[in-house]
Amino acid sequence: MNIIVNEDLRAYIDPLTEDEYAALERSILAEGCRDALVLWGEVLIDGHNRYSICSRHGLPFQTVQNTRFTSMEDVHLWMIDQHLGRRSVSDFQRGVLALRKKEILETRRLAVLDDPAPDASASEAATGAGPEAALPPPPPLKSREAIARAARISSATVGQIEKIQKAAAPELVAAVKSGEVSISAAAVIADLPAEEQAAAAAGGKKELRQAAKRVRESRGGKKPASDAVAEVAVEVLGVATTEDGEPEADPRIALLRAQVNALQEENGQLRAQVTELQAQLSAARHSAG
């Protein structure tokens, strides 16, 4: 069987950590490769780590064809949805993947406007696989709230991830991915020059916390309400803290953060509506006068 490994597809989703890869390898060596690798023609779509482990150890594996893809965009959307459905994916990864999905869907929407009937024969010829049935078009992600629902995170977190993607230095992004710094703190640190971000990331958790603290204090000493909620949860709910003083993972904190973020967003929308109504009223008075 000829299997083609597309390096772009292999790198499309963040790779496993060394510990995660080692755990998967131990599982396959003990129990075999239980899940089939997904192919599109000869191109490997899902199961790159399993394929690598099985090939290195000479272990058998099963494959299954997905012949419903008509383009690489279909493949990317399928890969994104597969990973968004996995519990092991971090909130940051969820947000990044959901934002990628939004970009793909928007690009596809614009392409359809330019060419309502694109020809899929080229992609079929390239892979040797024709579609059994067209994939149903996924609903567009037009708003930050829609992106948040797709990623199963708060809309405020989506906004923070967007800021990190635009302004964060590579070292800071790596720190978020590794769990060295929270998404909310990284979004604050992203206001610093790239050199200072990199220096904070090199200093580890404590230096990252200090950098976030300095930025917040420079804004007037105010902390985001979601961070204040975490501190109250530590005191009132008796949540344990880590060595760095951060609250340990607790579903109650996550729920409180989400509720506060939702209320803040609703408050912002109401303020915007009031401002718009005031402008309309002022315009009406001006025209009447």
Residue 229 lies in a domain: no
Range 31-62 burial, b when 16+ CB lie within 10 A, else e? eebeeebbbbbebbbbbbbbbebbeeeeeebe
Q: Are residues 190 and 131 in the same domain?
A: no
pLDDT average, residue stretch 10-39: 93
pLDDT value for 274: 80
Residue 196 lies in a domain: yes
Q: Order across the sheet with 37-40: list the strands.
A: 43-46, 37-40, 63-65
Task: Give, in order, the Cα–Cα distances in Å from 287 to each of 165, 168, 273, 276, 278.
Answer: 45, 47, 21, 17, 14
Range among 179-183, 249-253, 274-278 rated most confident: 179-183
Q: Which of 202, 222, 242 is the last residue in one of the domains?
A: 222
Q: Are residues 242 and 175 in the same domain?
A: no
pLDDT average, residue stretch 273-277: 77
Residue 216 lies in a domain: yes
Q: Are residues 117 and 152 in the same domain?
A: yes
Q: Facing residues of 192 across strands?
A: none
- Residue 232 class from Cβ within 10 Å (0-12 exposed, 13-18 middle, 19+ buried)? middle
Residue 217 lies in a domain: yes
Residue 13 lies in a domain: yes
Please report which residue ranges of 65-219 form alpha helices under DSSP H: 72-84, 91-114, 121-127, 144-151, 155-167, 170-178, 183-189, 194-202, 204-218
- Cα dihedral 84/89/92/95 (nearest 10): 0
Q: Is the pTM of this model over 0.95?
A: no
Give 258's DSSP letter: H
Q: Are residues 52 and 110 in the same domain?
A: no
Tell me whether strands 43-46 and 63-65 are parallel, antiparallel or unpaired: unpaired
204 pLDDT band, cuts 50/70/90, is: very high
Q: Which of 121, 156, 191 is the last residue in one of the domains?
A: 156
Q: Are residues 56 and 74 in the same domain?
A: no
**pLDDT higher than threshold 70 for residue 271:** yes
CA dist 245 and 206 (Å) reads 10
Q: Are residues 40 and 59 in the same domain?
A: yes
pLDDT average, residue stretch 119-138: 52
Site of tokens 């990864």 = 93
Weakest-pLDDT range from 53-67, 81-95, 101-115, 198-212: 101-115
For 10, the enclosing helix (H) or strand (E) is helix 7-10
Q: Which of 134, 156, 178 is the last residue in one of the domains?
A: 156
CA proximity to 66, closest of 54, 55, 81:
81
CATH number for the domain including 8? 3.90.1530
pLDDT value for 126: 45
Residue 188 lies in a domain: yes
pLDDT value for 283: 72
Please give the tally of structural domains in the chain.
4
**pLDDT higher than threshold 80 for residue 96:** yes
CA dist 161 and 150 (Å) reads 14
pLDDT average, residue stretch 227-249: 50
Q: For the chain, how many helices (H) and strands (E)? A: 14, 3
Residue 274 lies in a domain: yes
Q: Are residues 152 and 74 in the same domain?
A: yes
Range among 12-21, 106-115, 197-206 rated most confident: 197-206
**pLDDT higher than threshold 90 for residue 260:** no
Using DSSP's 3-state secondary structure scheme, residue 9 falls into: helix
For residue 25, give the amino acid letter.
E
Q: Answer yes or no: are the C-beta atoms of 158 and 148 closer than 8 Å.
A: yes
Q: How many Å separate Cα 101 from the centre of its chain?
A: 10
pLDDT value for 6: 94
Portion of the chain with pLDDT greater than 70, in percent = 74
Q: Are residues 59 and 13 in the same domain?
A: yes
Q: Are residues 80 and 152 in the same domain?
A: yes
Site of tokens 């069987």 = 1
Q: Are residues 196 and 251 in the same domain?
A: no
Higher confidence at residue 281 or residue 19?
A: 19
**pLDDT higher than threshold 70 for residue 242:** no
Higher confidence at residue 116 or residue 149?
A: 149
What mean pLDDT, rounded, does the chain reach? Answer: 82
Residue 163 lies in a domain: no
**pLDDT higher than threshold 50 for residue 73:** yes
**pLDDT higher than threshold 70 for residue 238:** no
Q: Are residues 182 and 208 in the same domain?
A: yes
Q: Answer yes or no: are the C-beta atoms of 147 and 139 closer than 8 Å.
A: no
Q: Are residues 218 and 196 in the same domain?
A: yes
Look up the domain containing 198 and give its range: 168-222
Structure tokens at 95: 């947000």
